[in-house]
Every structure is written in C-alpha cells, then in structure tokens.
Amino acid sequence: MKKLLFVIIVLILSTTDIHSQCSMLSAIMESDQEYEAAKGLNRGIVYLMSIPYILVGLIIWKIYRTNKSST
C-alpha cells in the first residue's frame, strides 16, 4: 500500500501544467487580447474536467475497500 501511495504522489508531483482549450480560448490566446481572462477560463475548464475523474476514482476506491474488507 505504501508503494502505491508513493507512486501516486510521484505521478501527481511530476505532472506538467495542463492546458485545455476550446476554440474560443484558443482564438483569444492567439490574439494576445485579455490573456489573463483566457488563462482564468482555461483553469476553470481544467477544474471542471477533473471533478468526474475524482468521483469515479472515489467510487472505485469505495468498491475496492468494501470487497477487501468482506474477504
């Protein structure tokens, strides 16, 4: 379990900055107008994108923990 936790921590800390862009943000960033506004929207997209992955991970962890305790 400690090895798995270590691997997860290393993967989280070694990731690079994620850039997700829709076509509107891409156009704004290419024109260099209101770059900070586009940067904030980009962070919002990444935040909204991460929530379903976290929820699925929690569900899988709950199922794993339930099955492990029943055996």
Is 7 inside any structural domain?
Answer: no
Looking at the 3D structure of the chain, how many domains does it have? Answer: 1
> How many angstroms separate the CA atoms of 55 and 19, rounded?
21
In a domain, 4, yes or no: no
Please give the residue that has the higher pLDDT: either 60 or 29: 60
Please check whether residue 5 lies inside any domain of the structure. no
Question: 65 lies in a domain?
Answer: yes
Could you list the residue range(s) of the whole structural domain that residue 34 is in?
A: 16-70
Residue-level pLDDT at 24: 64
Mean confidence (pLDDT) of the chain = 77
Distances (CA, A) of 21 to 6, 34, 51, 62: 31, 15, 17, 32
Q: Is the residue at 50 inside a domain?
A: yes
